[in-house]
Structure 1
Amino acid sequence: MTRAQAVDTMAAMTTYETGTRRWTRAEYEKLIDLGIFQSGEAIELIGGELMVAEPQGAAHYTAIWKTAKALEAAFGPGWTVRTQGPIGLDAESEPEPDVAVVPGGPDDYRSAHPSRPALTVEVAESSLASDREHKGSVYARAGLPDYWILNLVDQVLEVYREPAADRSAAFGWRYARREVFNSSAQVSPLAAPPDPPASQFPVTSPPSTSRVCPVR
């Protein structure tokens, strides 16, 4: 190899760009069937990427449990409140939201995961930015109408609605409306029956009014 050829080869190696292997939901489920992932391993498929879920500490688990109980009371019969169960969102996403409310009973989903929860809730501490930007975008892209983040960092409930296309968002969609509530506010899920029982969510903060914020 001549010096000129060596220089050309090194230049080509310098400018080579590595890529990221993206996965489909069918491939992801095949990996699960093959036992590639260990039981209890907190991995989700979000927009074709395998993501490690937030570790579940005591506060995180308690918030999930209390939220699920509150939503069971708010929705009543005819609905199932799932905790950390898979959602077959689209061809490249199978998230496992902390809480999801789906129509029907458990037996309705024996052959396939639910795909369109009426309400999706994530409990967030270290995952707050990802839940807002990545999961929020992929949920909006799927047209999920009601997405809540129980923000344990700021001790508020963030309610996201009105999915809208946005090229700047992680997956091309975002929620156009975001409301922030504290523990003194009463929040009604969009799909809940009229006049549901008052439900208290596990948000602890000084009393104040809710506020509408632009989605960033």
Structure 2
Amino acid sequence: MDNNPYSEPESDIAVVRIERRFYAENHPTPADTFLLIEISDTTLEQDRKQKAAAYAKAGIADYWILDVNKRQVRVFREIVNQTYQQETILNEEATLFLLAFPEIEVQISRLFPF
């Protein structure tokens, strides 16, 4: 990820508002983005520092990193002054809920099937 003010970080998974016509020519805005997920094998520090900073600055309220080496999920939330104030590390026994859809339960163990 470079320092170009016009660059857009690309997450591995994005849960966004469905708006087919709009996205044909533009990317979803932070207001259209419910969740961004990075799958991290060798890029954990970059995902934790550079990408988290960029996503917080953009106003992405819910950002997860799936750490495949430790089989954990790092959850970033609560943006204050364009910085995430909360980083929670959850292990395979935990259950997680999306901020935008609290009725959807995600079992961490199902994110790491093998």
Tell me the TM-score normalized by structure 1.
0.46
* Of 175, 183, 187, the match for 2:96: 187
Q: How many residues align?
A: 110
> Which structure: greater strand fraction?
2
Say if 2:18 is the partner of 1:104.
yes
The equivalent residue for 1:137 is: 53
**Unaligned runs of at least 5 residues, structure 1:** 1-44, 49-90, 166-172, 205-216
- Kindly, what percent of the aligned residue pairs are identical? 33
Higher relative contact order (CA 8 A, sep 6+): 2
Amino acid at match of 2:106: S
Q: How does 1:62-211 map to 2 (within 5 A)?
A: 91-116=5-30, 117-165=33-81, 173-192=82-101, 194-196=102-104, 198-200=105-107, 201-203=110-112
Relative to total residues, which structure has the larger helix share, 1 or 2? 1
Q: 1:185: how far off?
A: 1.3
On the 8 A contact 1:46/1:94 being kept in 2, the answer is: no
Instruction: Answer yes or no: is the 8 Å Cα contact 2:9–2:54 preserved in 1.
Output: no
Query: In angstroms, what is the RMSD of aligned CA positions?
Result: 2.1
> Per the alignment, in what secondary structure is the counterpart of residue 195 of structure 1?
coil
Contact kept? 1:147, 1:161, Cα under 8 Å: yes
CA contact (8 A) 1:47 1:138 kept: no
Alpha-carbon deviations, 1:160-196, whole Å to 9, x = none? 001233xxxxxxx43100111122211111001x523
**Structure 2 Cα separation of the partners of residues 46 and 191 of structure 1:** 29
Which entry has the higher C-alpha Rg, 1 or 2? 1
List 4+ stretches of structure 1 deviating above 2 A. Answer: 105-108, 198-201
Q: CA deviation at 1:93?
A: 2.7
Normalised to the residue count of structure 2, the TM-score between the two structures is: 0.83
* CA distance in 2 between partners of 1:188 and 1:105 (Å): 23
